[in-house]
Structure 1
Amino acid sequence: MASATSFYDFAPKDKKGEEVPLSKYKGKVVLVVNTASKCGFTPQFAGLEKLYKDIQEKHGDDFVVLGFPCNQFGSQDPGSNDEIQSFCQVNYGVTFPVLGKLDVNGANADPLWEWMKKEKPGIMGLKVVKWNFEKFLIGKDGQVKGRWASTTKPESLQAAILDELSK
């Protein structure tokens, strides 16, 4: 999507393969995370859910976490979309939206991820996602405001999220 200028220009697919227009999140702060069910960082689902609930308690629907399962790193999310959804809910009580499995790098990378990497390159300007549980923060204006590595714990992002919510 070469003409894309904001997060809201994209419509990735949900677990059933149906498009989800991200314009439905217009005016909200969104934390986008590439997830995996069988990764050393998988316990971050618990931190993401707590962050989601804690911020929603004070700010209602002005904040959302969007999970995007990805099997590109060590084949750590091999299940079907339904198996992934079930895993997230049963093991971590996830209530935030987890969309359909996609690629974040390479020839088949989802256009949303291509755009986010271009807008906020990683260390040394690299336009690749290095591993599962990388996080991108989208402001109310639909622009990428921050990017964090897999090692960044979700709870450490609360201040950045609250800052964006206050704008």
Structure 2
Amino acid sequence: MPAQPFETTLRSIFVRCDEALHTALDRAKARAESLQAEDTSRLAFTLTEAIEHTVDPAIDEAVASYDEALSQPVASNAHWEDAIRARIGVSVEAGIAGALAFDQLTHPWKPLLKEEAPKLSERLVRRADERLAEVHKRHGPQRRRKEVRREWTLRGSLLVLGLVVGFLIHGLLTAF
């Protein structure tokens, strides 16, 4: 998968994530209002949880797209990995901004949510790094070495088979 289709796919994944994020935040806000938890740290936790659970599937989809791109004859691409990490941060910041924009009043949960933003982003980037490490294991140099070894074993076997068939044909031709 060339760079352009991967980046287009990544962009569409996170656009869908942002749309889902707004929906999830609206649901979390409505749920919190029904529980009358607006002035507690519970709302900050609920909003953070909503952001995390919405961005996490986008990470899975982005890493799967990256894995698919590496299935082509392309080695790992640090630029693509950085793009995934950057989009995670952008989505988390958009989610926090959306949550803080629910109303203009100052609530005790807002500073808690602001403090949680870098931790949430770091946690999600760490998850992405773990999943990228799994992709690296599947597409790493040891896999390529095994493939090269298998290829040379096959080539050697075909050479030996060709020599044996050649000697047999030579023996048949010289016998007559």
> Under a length normalisation based on structure 1, what TM-score does the superposition of the two structures give?
0.22
Name the structure with the higher helix share: 2
